[in-house]
Amino acid sequence: MKFLLDTADVEDIKRICAMVPVDGVTTNPGIVAASGKSVFDLLPAIRDAMGGKGMLLAQVISPTVEGMIKDAHTLTSRVENLIVKVPVTPNGLVAIKELTKEGIPTLGTSIYGAAQGFMAALAGAKYLSPYVSRIDAQGGNGPETVKELQSLISQHKPDVEIVNASFKSPRQALECMMIGSAGITLPPSIFDLFIADPAVLAAVTEFGNQWFKAFNRHTLD
């Protein structure tokens, strides 16, 4: 399973890369805007934070077919080995199909339904990102939508990879990880919650105190 981070915070990327292998970083217009930095300054800095390797994804801004294609050309001409995120709208499907013909890899984003995601796969998207928590917020079932989409992809487009996105809790993310999709993209806040159980710190502290009481030191020798 590919593990990606959903952030533009370079320090968080460095911190988490020091703990676990990170396969890539996804961004979106909101994340980039919140950083206050130019996307063309930010993306190289993110790649450097990953050690110069890994998947790097950035999203088009324009709502029109022509604008999406132009945005994709601008992004890929200025940032090497970039995967372009395109919203799965009617115009987005046209853009994905055209960009695929040009050899530009795309990720279909803003996916709220299995059929919608499958249409993006048919149009040529290499990657798909269902918005799990946003599906739940609309009264749907995010993990169930992921299961349905994974079934369609496994049967009909096995070369396409689902990279689940949009999580508000570790449990939500864990459910999608167990489905067997190709990847998951987490914000640093959710990653941190995976390893933030107070019981862990309590156990480590207890053992450390027992050792110190016996040997008057916090080291082996």
| Residue 43: per-residue pLDDT | 97
- Mean pLDDT to the nearest integer, 27-34: 95
pLDDT at 142 over 90: yes
pLDDT per position as a tens digit, 44-67: 999 999 999 999 999 999 999 999
pLDDT at 17 over 90: yes
| Residue 197: per-residue pLDDT | 84
| Residue 106: per-residue pLDDT | 98
pLDDT at 21 over 90: yes
Catalytic site positions:
85
Where does 2-196 sit in CATH, by number?
3.20.20.70
Q: Cα 160 from chain centroid?
A: 15
pLDDT per position as a tens digit, 177-207: 999 999 999 999 999 999 988 898 899 999 9
Q: Cα 94 from chain centroid?
A: 23
For 70, residues 6+ apart whose C-beta sits below 8 A from its C-beta are: 62
Q: To the nearest whole number, what is the mean pLDDT of the chain?
A: 96
Express as a percent the part of the chain with pLDDT over 90.
Answer: 96
Cα distances from 90 to residues 63, 66, 68, 86, 115, in angstroms, run: 10, 13, 12, 11, 13
DSSP E strand boundaries for 54-118: 55-59, 82-87, 106-111
pLDDT at 124 over 90: yes
Reduce the DSSP state of residue 187 to 3 states and report it.
coil
pLDDT at 96 over 90: yes
* Local confidence band at 75 (pLDDT 50, 70, 90 cut-offs): very high
| Residue 141: per-residue pLDDT | 95
For residues 216 and 118, give the distance between their C-alpha atoms in angstroms, rounded to a whole number.
Answer: 62
* Local confidence band at 151 (pLDDT 50, 70, 90 cut-offs): very high
pTM here? Answer: 0.93
